[in-house]
Structure 1
């Protein structure tokens, strides 16, 4: 809430349609199950969020075909969320990094398009010689353009979950059912293979927003930090609506 008169906290300003939710999330148009922890499961968040579905933005189109022809739809949906009253915009797919610059320019509020935006920051926290790795739903279609669009070094190690039995198949195929146990096994298998291939890994960033429910188990299995869209948007929200520690009279 903005105060119309900073010297009189009893007078507040308006200008929005809806109050109390600073973060707006642009959703792909999907029907696969979104379990607790998933960015698209509203109960995942300890703060209120607004959602807007982007018509025609299937997971397969965004992940496998670079969201071709979808930029204007994402901008229009983002503008609707801003008009509603949000102070920042996020998306539900790490592959949306391709549109980061265009969306930030068009929406006039901070934009957090992709979990991949964490990679440079996480790298800065690591011991010299250690590297960040990216675990993605589709290593075959995560291009250098997706990385460079959000200032991620193009030589960053990448591992996909395509070799698993369930997770990639169910999400990209927009299946109505999801074997959660097998999805977890797929992600753990990929994570272990990633660390075996790149023993220099000091942390992992999960590209895919649907991987969040498995992040804690993955971290325990690998013994290194695991970052996700949940960690990223929790940080983003902390700037949009900082927690107040001051007494009312302060």
Structure 2
């Protein structure tokens, strides 16, 4: 398959049919480069979030191989909970793989001023366990807060309700407020959930903190996969 001037990033998608606005991992306009998608049949959100996904690993590897055949030069996924499978999947893939926005946590924390740390906003706080942080090489004591179980996003993804952007924005804002009030030393926010980047700019502006998500991970990841050539004719300054 032919793409633009640069080869695409491959995105392995969960098997869910939902509305994906710009900013969402599954919307082409979210990315400043070409992307290609491949869905893993049977990979429902609840199955992945609950960690009941060992039987799907072969299918994830097959999806990675199919994306490679389409010209992808690196891979990411559409669920941050796959951080727990980072080591297993990257060892089996034929392309570099960055499963989850949580992979940014160690680097983000090392960039913050003394006494500051990163905090996580996640789709499901009860399901986000030490093994997810271990898979990302992150501190399992990282502060985290979940979106409400009866909130707009879970209703949309797991119960087929219409996408409610205003409701989801309120849920995200309240989650961030709770995270910051419970953890005064938060200096940056990482969105685990790949459906939350549409709100990253608003949250950063509202709370005055940097926000990292699957899109910031993908941009960094891709920047090393396809390097720019520098002109040798420019004079040295």
Pick the TM interval, shorter chain.
over 0.9
Structure 2 residue matching 1:135: 3-state secondary structure: strand
Partner of 1:99: 85
Structure 2 residue matching 1:69: 3-state secondary structure: helix
2:183 to 193, 198, 202: 198
Structure 1 residue matching 2:12: 3-state secondary structure: strand
RMSD: 1.8
CA distance in 1, matches of 2:156, 2:150: 11
Partner of 1:11: none
Residue 175 of structure 1 and its aligned partner are, at CA, apart by: 1.9
Contact 1:134 1:158 in 2 (8 A): yes
Contact 2:84 2:132 in 1 (8 A): yes
Structure 2 residues without counterparts, runs of 5 or longer: none
Structure 1 residues without counterparts, runs of 5 or longer: 1-16
Whether 1:114 and 2:100 are equivalent positions in the alignment is yes
Moved over 4 A (4+): none
Contact 1:96 1:114 in 2 (8 A): yes
Contact 1:75 1:103 in 2 (8 A): yes
Partner of 1:136: 122
In 2 relative to 1, CA 167–176 (structure 1 residues): closer, same or farther, beyond 3 Å?
closer
Partner of 1:152: 138
Residue 201 of structure 1 and its aligned partner are, at CA, apart by: 0.3
What TM-score comes out, normalization by structure 1 length?
Answer: 0.88
Contact 1:138 1:168 in 2 (8 A): no
CA distance in 2, matches of 1:157, 1:205: 10
5 Å matches for 1:224-243?
224-243=209-228
Structure with max Cα Rg: 1
Deviations along 1:27-65, whole A, 9 cap, x unmatched?
A: 111111111110101121111011111111111111124
CA distance in 1, matches of 2:228, 2:40: 30
CA distance in 2, matches of 1:168, 1:247: 52
Residue 84 of structure 1 and its aligned partner are, at CA, apart by: 2.4
Contact 1:31 1:176 in 2 (8 A): no
Deviations along 1:65-86, whole A, 9 cap, x unmatched?
A: 4424211110111111122221
Partner of 1:90: 76
Deviations along 1:192-228, whole A, 9 cap, x unmatched?
A: 1110000010001000000000111111121111101
Partner of 2:15: 29
CA distance in 2, matches of 1:195, 1:156: 13
What TM-score comes out, normalization by structure 2 length?
Answer: 0.92
Whether 1:74 and 2:60 are equivalent positions in the alignment is yes
